[in-house]
Amino acid sequence: MKRKTMSLEKSTMIEDVMKLLIEYGPEKFRESLELLYNQAMLVERSEILRAHPYERTESRRGYANGFKPKRFNSSVGTLELQIPQVRGFNRLNNFVIHIYE
């Protein structure tokens, strides 16, 4: 059941991005990238922690601990992202950070 909910959330987020792009065109591309990157990092954090937010599992490897705002310069403008933080786990290696380093 949780997998279905997660896929519904992803589907809704993708629909939101598509609506932005269809309605406003290229000028909303930066905002669309921000939405996609932020969602991708949340999925990545859940996979690394082996649990979704507020989920208790035997295999959990740490805990979500808020977000850290970070700006990245890109060819479409400055992306203002929310980098997920974790507690009880060495380091969360966000793929986005590696792209822009």
pLDDT for 2 equals: 43
pLDDT band at 7; cut points 50, 70, 90: low
pLDDT band at 6; cut points 50, 70, 90: very low
Give the sign of the dihedral formed by CA 33, CA 85, CA 71, CA 47.
negative
Digit-coded pLDDT (tens) for 15-29: 888 888 889 887 788
Compare 18 and 98 and report the one with higher pLDDT.
Answer: 18
Do 39 and 33 form a contact (C-beta atoms < 8 A)? no
Contacts of 77 (CB under 8 A, 6+ apart): 30
pLDDT for 67 equals: 93
Average pLDDT score, the chain = 81
Domain boundaries, the chain: 2-100
- Angstrom CA distances, 74 to 30, 38, 54, 87, stand at 9, 15, 33, 29
Q: What average pLDDT score do residues 39-63 get?
A: 88
